[in-house]
Amino acid sequence: MPERPTRIAIIGAGPAGTATATLLARRGASVVILDDGKRPDLVVGESLIPLMVAAFRELGIEDEVKKFGTHKPGVTFTIDDDTEFMLSFQSVEGILPTYSYNVPRKDFDQLLLDTALNAGALMVRAQVRLEGPYPQGAEVRLGRETLDSIPGWDGAEPDLLIDASGRRRLTARLLQLKAATGPRTDVAHFAHYADCALPEPAGQVIISRLRHGWSWRIPLSGGRLSIGVVMNKDAAKTFGSTPEAQLEGVIDSEPRLHAAAARRRRVTPVATYANYQLISARASGPGWAAAGDAFGFVDPMLSPGLCMALESARMLAASIPAQGGLDAAAPARLRRYGRWFARSLRHWQDLVDYFYDGRIFSIYTAGREMSARRPGRPAEIIEGHISKNLAGMASGAYTSRAYSRWLVSVLALYAQRQKDPAAYVIR
Ligand SMILES: Cc1cc2nc3c(=O)[nH]c(=O)nc-3n(C[C@H](O)[C@H](O)[C@H](O)COP(=O)(O)OP(=O)(O)OC[C@H]3O[C@@H](n4cnc5c(N)ncnc54)[C@H](O)[C@@H]3O)c2cc1C
């Protein structure tokens, strides 16, 4: 007798949910995605890192991403009038693809959903309400009405419920799991604009340090520019009481932003996000596991969000048998997955901290000055090695690599004696 397909119910048709669905459905599991269809047209998360290109190739979707995506060669950080730090993905040659993409989320999310449906996953429109906690068996369960709406399951319970509900964190909230919150209390506003000066080289993302907080400029297809500002909530209020007033006020008051967007025309509403730094105490329990933001999110700086959504999908799917339901070793594999996820987010947080507290820019300026004092081949080799490790970390391949993490910590200790990081802090 062939084994029956493992039944997987996934809450949320965001990237974490649909990528997990694709990987499991391709291996023959019976996968259903439950989504409430309440996704707004404008969703944050448009700047991607090179590790995601490797994931697109694995999913077989890079050609499709290319159709609506903008080729992204790297990121430029502008710190002040004298300090500009250009991170080129060319530095990760031999480790990862040397580019990534900027994408409008609506097209990107639809592509991932279509890929899951083509792989055999089913989609059910449902506003899921979880029940539990239960002391025995599955810790959380789908309501009877939701179970009955799943075609072909005859009302049976899933072998595993995957919470990919994003920042709504359905399981964590129901189980009242403790969450570690990050150090920042920022609010982020963003919108798409036309008639702006576009970054050079084409597709480059620009991150600028502002008097308060920082901004992103992400070039998208059709000549659109996504402009976002991230700042302390109290500082934001000094620009007005509405998200529109705050976003437009910051753009007008910051010379670098204003120069790029003096004749801007806003073509979308303004979207706002707050309280997003949150990591749950656990990523799985009896009968459930979480993927993507439903487990945790670090910070928009360096754009790790969608990468972790897809990486968590890959790691989670690899922990689940596609046939015969969950085996006896599955809970231990899911706990290992949770430890990997928490550790990866911690490493991203460490890297992000280097940018907020200015240490990365003190490494950069101290390095530049040293190369200028002693030009020549040895300096070029050292600079190339440092760039490769830094770009490798920011691209997702080396973020958790012990040597790269050690190298950056040593460089930071050396650099802070030459250039005080306090001069580059992002408030
Ligand atoms: C300010 C800011 C800027 C960011 N910028 C970037 C960036 O440039 N690059 C990047 O990679 N990442 C970025 N991110 C992070 C990125 O947006 C997220 O990490 C990513 O969207 C997470 O995907 P996900 O699939 O986990 O969740 P989501 O994309 O949020 O998907 C969750 C899905 O679950 C559904 N759902 C929720 N509750 C229910 C329910 N009860 N029933 C049914 N369905 C439900 C929702 O409707 C939604 O479709 C940014 C985040 C912030 C806050």
Domain match, 387 and 369 both = yes
SS (H, E, C) 117-142: HHCCCEEEECCCCEECCCCCCCCCEE
Q: Answer yes or no: is 83 within a domain.
A: no
Count of the separate structural domains present in the chain: 3
Q: Answer yes or no: is 39 within a domain.
A: yes
Domain match, 36 and 167 both = yes
Residue 214 phi, psi dihedral angles, 5° rounding: -150, 170
Q: How far apart are CA 81 and CA 384, in angstroms?
A: 25
Are 199 and 229 contacting, i.e. CB atoms less than 8 angstroms apart?
no
CA angle 385–49–258, rounded 5-degree value: 100
Task: Indicate which residue's Cα is closest to atom 33 of ligand 1.
Answer: 12
Q: Answer yes or no: is 87 within a domain.
A: no
Q: How far apart are CA 111 and CA 109, in angstroms?
A: 5
Of 309, 344, 379, at which residue does a domain stop? Answer: 344
Paired tokens of 239: 């620009």
CATH of the domain at 335: 3.50.50.60
Q: Answer yes or no: is 84 within a domain.
A: no
Question: CA-based Rg of the chain, rounded to a whole angstrom?
Answer: 22
39: left (phi over 0), alpha (psi -120 to 50) or beta: beta
Q: Which atom of ligand 1 is nearest to the CA of 126?
A: 43
What is the Cα 32 distance to its own chain's centre? 24
* Cα 212 to middle of ligand 1, angstroms: 25
Identify the domain containing residue 295 by its residue range.
Answer: 7-69+104-179+278-344
Q: How far apart are CA 317 and CA 24, in angstroms?
A: 6
Q: Which of 165, 162, 169 is nearest to 316 (CA)?
A: 162
Q: Where are the alpha helices (DSSP H) in 220-283?
A: 233-237, 243-253, 255-261
pLDDT tens profile 239-297: 999 999 999 999 999 999 999 999 999 999 999 999 899 999 999 999 999 999 999 99
User: Hey, how many other C-beta atoms are within 10 angstroms of the C-beta on 120?
Assistant: 17
Q: Answer yes or no: is 391 within a domain.
A: yes
Ligand 1 neighbours by CB, cut-off 6 Å? 11-17, 34-36, 38-39, 44-48, 127-128, 164-168, 170, 188, 273, 276, 292-294, 297, 300, 303, 305-307, 309
pTM: 0.97
In the chain, how many H helices and how many E strands?
Answer: 14, 21
Domain match, 166 and 194 both = no
Domain match, 38 and 147 both = yes
The tens place of each residue's pLDDT in the chain, 427 residues long, gives 678 999 999 999 999 999 999 999 999 999 999 999 999 999 999 999 999 999 999 999 999 999 999 999 999 999 988 889 999 999 999 999 999 999 999 999 999 999 999 999 999 999 999 999 999 999 999 999 999 999 999 999 999 999 999 999 999 999 999 999 998 999 999 999 999 999 999 999 999 999 999 999 999 999 999 999 999 999 999 999 999 999 999 999 999 999 999 999 999 999 999 989 999 999 999 999 999 999 999 999 999 999 999 999 999 999 999 999 999 999 999 999 999 999 999 999 999 999 999 999 999 999 888 888 888 898 889 989 999 999 999 999 999 999 999 999 999 999 999 989 999 999 9
Domain match, 204 and 169 both = no
By most ligand atoms within 8 Å of CB, the mutation choice from 32, 36, 51, 341 for ligand 1 is 36
Residue 334 phi, psi dihedral angles, 5° rounding: -70, -35
Q: Which residues contact 312 (CB under 8 A, 6 or more apart)?
A: 16, 291, 292, 295, 337, 341
Q: Answer yes or no: is 90 within a domain.
A: no
Q: Which DSSP symbol is given to 59?
A: H
Domain match, 51 and 131 both = yes
Domain match, 266 and 226 both = yes
* Cα 293 to middle of ligand 1, angstroms: 6
Paired tokens of 330: 């599955």
Q: Answer yes or no: is 81 within a domain.
A: no
Domain match, 217 and 234 both = yes
